[in-house]
Amino acid sequence: MALARVSPTAFSLSLLHSLSRPFSSSSSPVLRPKGFSIAAALSHGDPLEEGAVEEAPRPSSRLPWKPTCLYYTQGKCTMMNDTLHLEKFNHNLLMNLPVNASAADKMKPQKLDYILVLDLEGKVEILEFPVIMIDAQSMEFIDSFHRFVRPTAMSEQRIREYIEGKYGKFGVDRVWHDTAIPFEEVLREFEGWIRDHKLWKKEQGGALNGAAFVTCGNWDLKTKVPEQCKVSKIELPSYLMEWINLKDIYLNFYNRRATGMMTMMRELQMPIVGSHHLGIDDAKNIARIVQHMLADGAVMQITARRHPTTSEVKFLFKNRIR
Ligand SMILES: [Zn+2]
């Protein structure tokens, strides 16, 4: 149904519509200067399919680089038995989150079984809800949950401009329009996902079982989710009331203040994969920082908790980023 909603006029301002459609014959390689963004590549007629995002090639890997299929990350790829599509696009997120077995020597015992890295996108309303699930003991990538989110209180015109500005530069505005669903539906699907992983049960309510969200800062769960719940006229779910602010763990473990994901990656000398500010890529990069910190011996624990009735947020670390 969401697919049918896409109208050609939505892209009249964009060059994207005139670009190659899936399986078009244009496949001549394009030489791309280092750091050349995917948006620029698309607007110059790069044959990369819309809905796919460029990943930084891993130097150690001999496999040819492939863009990630963003229909697949949302459980909406309909071309899984098309060999050409599978050859062209990455359908395996594990690729960016490998665990080096020898890296676990310094690891400390963890109270949590799983880490759910969450990195929302969208300042006015939430536009993207990406979650990467990591095993806190083995650091291994377990699963991911990714949805593009359709704003509730904005006009169609406003949404088009907002998405063009936000995702147009990554060349993924088309897949956004094809797949985005309202926040309320995203939460319903997410609840199915955490239930399947045995992390939460609607009948029992409360916080996650043996797992916790990791966010980069307090904004996602302290500010944005409650705001969006008001706009969407729903109650704040009980499992979104406590979290781990990675910046606080980072500050207490390395004794250094990090203002954001990019600072942490620079300080830890980690290369960024994918596109910064595309939620699924940011979540992947934050998950890589979590793996790095776990391997260094950091312990992941809750840093903030909201009172279920007063709604007041308590910060549990004395030494924290304000
Ligand atoms: Zn696909």
Kindly give the pairing relationship between strand 304-306 and strand 313-315: antiparallel
How remote is the CA of residue 286 from the centroid of ligand 1, in Å?
24
Determine the pLDDT at residue 66.
81
In this predicted structure, the answer to whether residue 120 has a pLDDT above a threshold of 80 is yes
- Centre of ligand 1 to C-alpha 318, Å, is 46
Q: What is the mean pLDDT of residues 54-76?
A: 73
pLDDT value at position 99? Answer: 82
Q: Is the pLDDT of residue 191 over 70?
A: yes
pLDDT tens-digit map of 109-118: 999 999 999 9
Q: Choose among 28, 25, 37, 90: nearest CA to 64.
A: 90
The number of CA neighbours under 13 Å toward the Cβ of 175 is 28
Say which residues have a Cβ less than 8 Å from residue 1's Cβ, sequence separation at least 6: none
pLDDT at 96 over 80: no
Residue 51: predicted pLDDT: 55
pLDDT at residue 7 greater than cutoff 50: no
Q: Please state, for a pLDDT cut of 90, what percent of the chain lies above it.
A: 72
CA of 51 to the centre of ligand 1 (A): 9
Residue 115 in contact with residue 211, Cβ under 8 Å? Answer: yes
| 31 Cα to the center of ligand 1, angstroms | 24
Across the range 234-261, mean pLDDT stands at: 97
Is pLDDT above 50 for 20?
no
Name the active-site residue from 55, 121, 125, 128.
121
Contact residues for 41 (Cβ-Cβ < 8 A; gap 6+): 30, 32, 48, 54, 171
C-beta contacts of 34-39 below 8 A and 24+ residues apart: 37/169, 37/170, 37/275, 38/67, 38/170, 38/171, 38/275, 39/168, 39/169, 39/170, 39/171
Encode pLDDT of 65-75 as tens digits.
788 899 999 99
Length of the chain, in residues: 322
For the ranges 6-15, 105-114, 136-145, 251-260, which has the lowest average pLDDT? Answer: 6-15
Confidence band of 52 (pLDDT split at 50, 70, 90): low
Q: Which amino acid is at 258?
A: A
Q: Rounded to the nearest whole angstrom, what is the distance from the C-alpha of residue 49 to the centroid of ligand 1?
A: 10
**Is 87 an active-site residue?**
no
Catalytic, 189? Answer no
All domains in the chain, ordered by first residue: 3-22+35-315 (3.30.420.10)
Q: How far is CA 156 from the centre of its chain?
A: 24
21-35: average pLDDT: 33
